[in-house]
Amino acid sequence: MRKNIVAGNWKMNNDLPQTEVLLLDLLDQTKSSNAEVMVAPTFPNLYFAYKKLKDSFIEVIAQNMHFAPKGAYTGEVSAAMLKSVGIKTVILGHSERREYFCEDDTILKQKVATALENEMRIIFCFGEKLEDRKTNHHFKVVENQIKNVLFGLPETAWTSIILAYEPVWAIGTGETATPEQAQEMHAFIRNLIAEKYNTTLANEISILYGGSVKPGNAKEIFGKPDVDGGLIGGASLNASDFMQIVNAF
């Protein structure tokens, strides 16, 4: 079912004491929300965060996982390991994973398959780089990122998929896509899904926007008809800022 979702991607920030402070601050700020709320701490802090938030309205999710079930993959974490510490949702395909860890469509296809086999929900990220937008290739780039990884999936798999459009040029730069640019891309994505599958399915998918979402711009961005929430980086590291964004719904 299409839901409003606000997810905080903490990236490689916060050690254990800092994680505890932020979690307690989040719980202090608000007791409920009109949107589904998630936070993604680092691997070492996942179980701690899960235990702290398990009776709250905030879900703890993972930033990444490997596609293999187990084995000789030094430094990696499997779906089963995440599930064993209470994690049911994973972010896949973030532009930082694509850029710095060489994650391509082939790898992401395997990760998506593994997450689905393990009955996990996926926040699947994609988005164009600045040069793609400047050369007017942004729609094609986004179309390929979605098509290559997700369009082989059966219709039933889509109940586990949340999409997150994150234009790379807007991540951590303070430069946000305008609400109109976000809406234009989100409508394009929904239309792609309608063409490949059907309108009912397309209307059920939550499509989040990510890239310099702040308390000051969240309401306007989330107000667009095809924007169903946000994936928040920098502003999710401050409980007050994050909750103001959550309360933009």
Any idea which residue has 């792609």 for tokens? 192
Pick 23 or 245: Cβ nearer ligand 13P: 245
Q: Which residue is nearest to ligand 13P (CB)?
A: 233
Task: For residue 94, indicate whether it is catalytic.
Answer: yes
Binding site for ligand 13P (CB under 6 A): 9, 94, 166, 171-172, 210-213, 231-235
Q: Report how far residue 190's alpha carbon sits from residue 193's, in angstroms, rounded to the nearest whole number.
A: 5
Name the token pair of 22.
Answer: 């932020």
3-state secondary structure of 5: strand
Of 94, 96, 138, 186, the catalytic one is 94
Provide, rounded to whole angstroms, the least separation between the CB of residue 149 and ligand 13P: 17
Q: Report how far residue 159's alpha carbon sits from residue 165's, in angstroms, rounded to the nearest whole number.
A: 18
Provide, rounded to whole angstroms, the least separation between the CB of residue 210 and ligand 13P: 4
Provide, rounded to whole angstroms, the least separation between the CB of residue 230 and ligand 13P: 8
Pick 41 or 210: Cβ nearer ligand 13P: 210
Of 36, 59, 96, 166, the catalytic one is 166
The total number of residues shown for the chain amounts to 249
Provide, rounded to whole angstroms, the least separation between the CB of residue 241 and ligand 13P: 10
Name the token pair of 62.
Answer: 């993972």
Of 129, 89, 124, whose CA–CA distance to 205 is shortest? 124
Half-sphere exposure of 215 (CA within 13 A, CB side): 10
Provide, rounded to whole angstroms, the least separation between the CB of residue 219 and ligand 13P: 16
CB atoms within 10 A of CB 170: 22
Query: 58-60 and 36-40 as β-strands: parallel, antiparallel, unpaired?
Result: parallel
Pick 10 or 249: Cβ nearer ligand 13P: 10
| Identity of the amino acid at 120 | M
Pick 95 or 183: Cβ nearer ligand 13P: 95
Pick 202 or 210: Cβ nearer ligand 13P: 210
Q: Report how far residue 231's alpha carbon sits from residue 164's, in angstroms, rounded to the nearest whole number.
A: 7
Task: For residue 59, indicate whether it is catalytic.
Answer: no
**Residues forming the active site:** 94, 166
